[in-house]
Amino acid sequence: MYNIGIIGTGKFGYSFGKLLSKEYQVSFSDKNESIVRKLSSELTITNDNKKIIEDSDVIFVCVDTPITNNKEFNTLQISNIVDDFIECFKSEISINGKTLIIVSTVNPFTTKLIQERLSAYGVQVAYLPTFVEYTNIGDEIINTPFFLLGNSNHEITSMVTNILTNVIKKPINIQQMGYTASELTKIMIDGFSTVQKTFINGFKDIFEKFSLSHEFTMSSDSLNKEFRKNNPFISDGKPFNGPILSNINLLIANMFEQQEIDSELFLTTEKINQNRISELFIKYTNENPTKDIPFIIDGLSYMKNSNVIINSVSLDLCYKFLESGYSLNIIESESVIKSMSKSFTDSYPNKVKFFKKGLKPDGYLINF
């Protein structure tokens, strides 16, 4: 039986670790001390990654990798974890035979380079990207049609298969690829999802113009069934919970341009989604012209249920409202409130109030 470590206790890391803990001894780590304090009564958790590395046979990395201004995934946290492995070796903590599995979305060649760094220490590295909607992660993992594994070692494939099968309680299908192919496949699926959802949101606007909003859900469900018929990892076809999913289109366009391949599709998708922010601003200021009534923003992060603010279009929309004289009631997690409250207070005193998740402040709710 394996001892398993989870580094990063965002919504996915927490949920995935809880699922694994049904069959395995699981310990967690997170660099955010407030999260460690909050979860300490529920989980075996520390803020010391090296402790997790020492005590675990298999370490799953589930940290956030937001897209940077350079149009690539920020993998600094993952690099720091690799450094922690090497520091363990220098401290005479045995890491030979351990397996590092990267769950976070990464840039092409990341896993290969990490394997090259750690192979001299006897550490095996694999890439196990996830395709979840962040609604009920445990159920989504259990019901996933197949898992994508970037790995060149069939023993690691067998180990991952055994771990997941023991938890899911039914045979699973693992599609094994090379490191870079699996990284590109993850990016490809995410990019397709944003194009798909941009397409669907365009028709959502058409339905509204034709006064058929009440029938749009049925229409999008029909399209959703067709999309997913032979593509089980394509995300559901309902409109997404924000102006755009993420800046994955810019990252893909940048990757295409570097290889001298036409990137117009992804640049156009990004432009459409950015225009949508302006359209939402106009829509809601027309519906709520009285600036005495605050807007309610349920979540600032760049992706729903994440704590990452970088590249957040919800945040961009907030600043547009504030610059126009509106006030905001923002519902967020404690960690986001802690990181953002001073910035808002300094720039827009008395214009922003924060509320913890679960509370329902007064105001005009922004419904993406």
Domain boundaries along the sequence of the chain: 3-177, 179-286, 288-368
Sign of the torsion formed by the C-alpha atoms of 182, 264, 202 and 332:
positive
Same fold, 3-177 and 288-368: yes
Judge whether residue 230 has pLDDT over 60: no
pLDDT of residue 237: 39
CATH number, domain 288-368: 3.40.50.720
Judge whether residue 65 has pLDDT over 60: yes
Mean pLDDT over 243-250 rounds to 64
- From the number of C-beta atoms within 10 Å of its C-beta (0-12, 13-18, 19+), residue 187 rates as buried
pLDDT of residue 55: 96
Judge whether residue 183 has pLDDT over 90: yes
Mean pLDDT over 50-68 rounds to 94
Share of the chain above pLDDT 90, in %: 53
Q: What is the mean pLDDT of the chain?
A: 86
pLDDT of residue 134: 63
* CA pair distance 313, 317, nearest whole angstrom: 6
Q: Which of 93-102, 169-178, 219-228 has the highest mean pLDDT?
A: 93-102
Mean pLDDT over 148-168 rounds to 94
Tokens of 340: 């953002």
Which range (41-45, 123-127, 233-237, 265-269) has the least confidence? 233-237
Query: Between residues 312 and 54, which one has the greater pLDDT?
Result: 54
Are the C-beta atoms of residues 124 and 100 closer than 8 Å to each other? yes
Mean pLDDT over 114-134 rounds to 92
Judge whether residue 246 has pLDDT over 60: no
Q: Of 3.40.50.360, 3.50.50.60, 3.40.50.720, 3.30.565.10, which CATH number belongs to 3-177? A: 3.40.50.720
Using N-to-C axis directions, what is the helix angle for 179-209 and 110-118, rounded to 10°? 150
Q: Which residue has the tokens 């870079």?
A: 180
Q: Which residue has the tokens 């970088």?
A: 310
pLDDT of residue 359: 87
Q: Are strands 352-356 and 328-332 parallel, antiparallel or unpaired?
A: parallel
Mean pLDDT over 148-156 rounds to 92
Judge whether residue 259 has pLDDT over 80: yes
Q: Which of 148-152, 279-283, 304-308, 329-333 has the highest mean pLDDT?
A: 148-152
Which residues, at least 6 apart from 47, have a Cβ–Cβ distance to it below 8 Å? 29, 30, 31, 32, 33, 36
Judge whether residue 328 has pLDDT over 80: yes
pLDDT of residue 250: 86
Mean pLDDT over 156-178 rounds to 93
* CA pair distance 299, 313, nearest whole angstrom: 11
Q: Which of 110-114, 337-341, 347-351, 364-368 has the highest mean pLDDT?
A: 110-114
Judge whether residue 51 has pLDDT over 90: yes
Amino acid at 352: V
Are the C-beta atoms of residues 266 and 67 closer than 8 Å to each other? no
Could you report the per-residue pLDDT of 19-39, keeping only the tens digit for each? 999 999 999 999 989 889 989
- Residues 232-268 as b/e (b if ≥16 CB within 10 A, e otherwise) read ebbbbbbebbbbbbbbbbbbbbbbbeeeeeebeebbe
pLDDT of residue 245: 46
Which range (213-217, 232-236, 252-256) has the least confidence? 232-236
* CA pair distance 59, 361, nearest whole angstrom: 40
Are the C-beta atoms of residues 146 and 172 closer than 8 Å to each other? yes
Mean pLDDT over 136-163 rounds to 89
